[in-house]
Chains A and B, each alone.
Chain A
Amino acid sequence: MRLTLGPLQYFWPREQVLAFYRAAAAWPVDVIYLGETVCSKRRELRTRDWIALAEELAGSGREIVLSTLALLEAESEMSSLARLVDAGFRVEANDMSAVQLLRERGLPFIGGPTLNVYNHATLRLLREDGLQRLVLGIEHGRALVEEFRASGEPLPELEITAWGRLPLAYSARCFTARALDLAKDDCGFRCLEHPDGLPLASREGTPFLTINGIQVQTSGRCDLGPELAELRAAGIGLLRLYPQAAGMAEVIERFRRTIDSGVAPARAGEENGYWHGTAGMQCVTSP
């Protein structure tokens, strides 16, 4: 079982991003996903900077993947997408625009969690298109993976998000700008002030969601570390850990130890509901 560092979902200053990934090159991860997946207005690193970073990290012995935007709207975003696809690295396709560009070029790719791959027939079509690895959608749990296996269809490598705040939704609207009473087109890049997103709570103060620009995330962190044996049994080959502003080295170390020892760790995150087939916000404790 391999560990992957998922794409950075937040907007950090350029130096912080570069420092993070230079550190990451020494962490015990097998795959590093790079690129802006949330908002094309975030240009501390431009597309060419992400590609340059990929080239720099290519010598680290890690598999380097370029991840694409989940929601494309503007022509300029299509141009950036084409540059990523043509950069010579394996690509994580996060929408069907990326799948189409990759397919047109005959390039193999990784299917990201925001493609809707709910059954083996869809999977077969995407494998014909060049899909080699599927990052399961966030609501895909154990039961669905078992159905995939029971279908008899050859399966690609399967990756699941095992750590971090899950991306729940994307919009044309920027919720960070809305919260700060700013227009999206004049947002002042205020996401920079929220390196782990902007917390959203119920009116009675219960933490609920996290606002991250045009993306809405969970408040609690998904943690499938304690589910390691089930993940293995289900044929999951890669565990995705999403970057956070502090303590990422420890997160990775914990999962590395878990994989190497085969001993499930104590629960550290707050949620695992999706894996167990219930509401994502819930935490199911094993019997």
Chain B
Amino acid sequence: MHLVCPAGSPPALKAAIDNGADAVYVGFRDQTNARAFPGLNFTEVDLVNGIAYAHGRGRKVYVALNTYPGPAGLGAWRAAVDRAASLGVDAIICADMGVLDYAARRHPGLARHLSVQGSATTHAALRYYRERFGIARAVLPRVLSIQQVERLCEREIVPLEVFAFGSLCIMVEGRCQLSSYVTGASPNRHGVCSPAKFVRWDEEPDGVRRVSLNGRLIDRFAPHEPAGYPTVCKGRYAVGGETFHALEEPTSLNTLELLPRLQAAGVVALKIEGRQRGQAYVASVTNVWRQAIDRLRTRPQGWSPDAAWQRELARHAEGHQTTLGPYHRSWH
């Protein structure tokens, strides 16, 4: 099983490689990828150097081109495909069919991975992308239970990558409009979710902090209550007379305890979320997963996650708590 780690910057790429990532995934500095945040991502020169660093150590670099261009923008996405190909990346991660088709025709030798944003959750959908665009791998949306992942693997339609750790999108990826509903900026089109320029924090006289997104209240926090980033799905709302995290709590996905099952199922790659996170996060999380995968390989009998690994991962989790998320039925 390959460990695929996020790199939002050259230092994060180096941290991922140094701590044992088999591959890193990166984005260009524009809206062609789903983490189009200011100050994040790679210039061409950054990427040339990053690829040299990774390839020099036998690792791979994937470029995410996983947003959906409109008709007028398609040329820029195609140019990004050409750029990725000319720089010698190992794969591109795409969601849009127009982009996938272009890449398959123009650069047939460049591996194409279906992004999680492509929303392929069944063997039929995976067949579509394999037959139409010859994808070499698909990243599964975070909606399937472990049993459903196992069954999809049994079909052997394309090699599958799943999310292992990181911030948890609780809606099926590529089809969530919560951010665009509130801000007009969407993950699909603009590569951002609940962007910071719409976030406003206000402190009331009693020390209570209110956080709103484009004027819509997402949550209020008591003076010493920890406060998370106001993505729409992790706010507290009133439903049926009660106020609670009606969609999801601030929490991160952590599938470490499922590692042997994911391996037995035949999952080819584990994805760590977090291109928006710093190099300390990347280094630490990559390191834990590298150790876990290596120990499973060398001593599979009686494998169980170290308490120290879990503590380390929880330290980097949203709200310092983790969940098995959709892999486990009780989350549904």
Contacts and interface: CB of A to CB of B under 8 A. Distances in A.
Q: Do A and B bind each other?
A: yes
B219 to A, nearest CB: 7
B229 interface: no
Given A168-B176, A173-B331, A78 B240 contact: no
B148 interface: yes
Contact of B96 (A122, A198, A203): A122
A138 B178 CA distance: 11
Central interface residue in A138, A153, A169, by most chain B CB within 10 Å: A169
Nearest to B132: A125
B177 A72 contact: no
A121 B246 contact: no
Nearest to B325: A172
Interface stretch (A45-53, A243-251, A272-280): A272-280
Q: Size range of the interface on A?
A: 35 or more
Interface stretch (B23-31, B57-65, B97-105, B296-304): B97-105
Interface in B120-177: 120-125, 127-129, 132, 142-145, 148, 151, 170-172, 174-177
Interface string A129-159: 0000000001100001001101101000000
Contacts of A179: 239-240, 242, 246
Given A148-B71, A169-B176, A170-B171, A139 B189 contact: yes
Interface in B211-239: 214, 216-220, 233, 236-239
Interface string B86-115: 000000000111110110000000000000
Contact of B124 (A78, A147, A203): A78
B181 interface: yes
Given A97-B124, A168-B177, A172-B332, A120 B71 contact: yes
B238 A74 contact: no
Contacts of B98: 118-122, 124-125
B119 interface: yes
B122 A203 contact: no
A204 interface: yes
A171 B329 CA distance: 13
Nearest to B330: A183
Contacts of A75: 151
B102 A121 contact: yes
Contact of A279 (B123, B144, B175, B214): B214
B68 to A, nearest CB: 4
Contacts of B70: 118-119, 144, 147
Closest 9 CB pairs of A and B: A121-B98, A118-B68, A172-B143, A96-B125, A169-B171, A97-B124, A147-B71, A100-B128, A280-B181
Given A118-B69, A144-B70, 14 more contacts: A71-B175, A73-B121, A74-B148, A96-B118, A116-B188, A119-B73, A147-B71, A150-B71, A173-B331, A199-B239, A200-B239, A201-B239, A208-B237, A280-B177
Interface of A: 70-75, 77-78, 81, 95-101, 103, 114, 116, 118-122, 124-126, 138-139, 144, 147-148, 150-151, 153, 166, 168-175, 178-180, 183-185, 198-206, 208-209, 211, 216, 218, 273-274, 277-281
30 contacts: A71-B143, A73-B121, A73-B143, A73-B145, A74-B148, A96-B128, A100-B127, A116-B95, A116-B97, A116-B119, A118-B70, A118-B98, A119-B70, A119-B74, A119-B96, A121-B99, A121-B101, A126-B97, A168-B181, A169-B171, A173-B331, A173-B332, A179-B242, A183-B329, A184-B332, A185-B332, A201-B239, A211-B239, A211-B246, A216-B171
